[in-house]
Amino acid sequence: MSRARLLDRIVDLATSVLIRALHDEPVLLECRLPLLGVVVAWPSPINRWTKLPTGRTLSDDSWRNIDRNGNPAVGLDRLIADRFKIEPSRGHALNDANAVAIAAAFDRCRRRSEHGDGRLGGAIIALRIGGGLGAGTVIVGRSIQGRPRSPFLSARLLEGAGGYAGELGHWQVPQQDLDEFSARARRSW
């Protein structure tokens, strides 16, 4: 799929989610739904500094370091911001495994704080199995006793120097192996 077509699809999906959210009273802030930013989880390792994909998942040449005209490519975060017509600082691109780890850490902290046990710190490791195998790791700090602060506010994604810490690697897994894994998983449930 071309870069332009994929970005159009992302905008369409985000618009659909926002329209549904406008009808959900608890998410509105003073009868409005401010757009704080857009984060897109990509099925590829992403360089921490350039925000360019480094894996083979996004195989169209327009995702690579140099575009077809020989110009330096624009990072995924900037492409998102441009497509959504928002400030560049509000567009974000994450590897999908890292996005899952952040979501799991947020959910764990939310559940802990609902039950009065918001002080627990630790690590969240999320494994993502799909066309490849990846992992993301988030360290959740402890909240200080007596302060009404979520431990998620001190959570840190382990990115490493290039943005690949916690990665097992985005290995190409043949479809036959994925089908076999899925069949075995279904039988064990």
pLDDT at residue number 82: 87
Cα separation, 139 vs 32, in Å, equals 33
Residues 153-180, mean pLDDT to the nearest whole number: 75
Per-residue pLDDT tens for 80-135?
888 888 888 888 888 888 999 998 888 888 776 665 554 567 888 888 877 667 78
Question: Under the phi-then-psi rule, with left for phi > 0, alpha for psi from -120 to 50, and beta for the rest, what region is 188?
Answer: alpha
Residues 62-73, mean pLDDT to the nearest whole number: 63
Token digits of residue 14 = 């985000």
Comparing 47-51, 131-135, 164-168, the range with the smallest average pLDDT is: 164-168
Nearest residue to 92 (alpha-carbon basis) of 35, 136, 142, 15: 35
Token digits of residue 17 = 């989610």
**Tokens 């509000």 found at:** 90
Which is higher by pLDDT, 44 or 104?
104
pLDDT at residue number 162: 80
Which is higher by pLDDT, 181 or 125?
125
Cα separation, 185 vs 177, in Å, equals 12
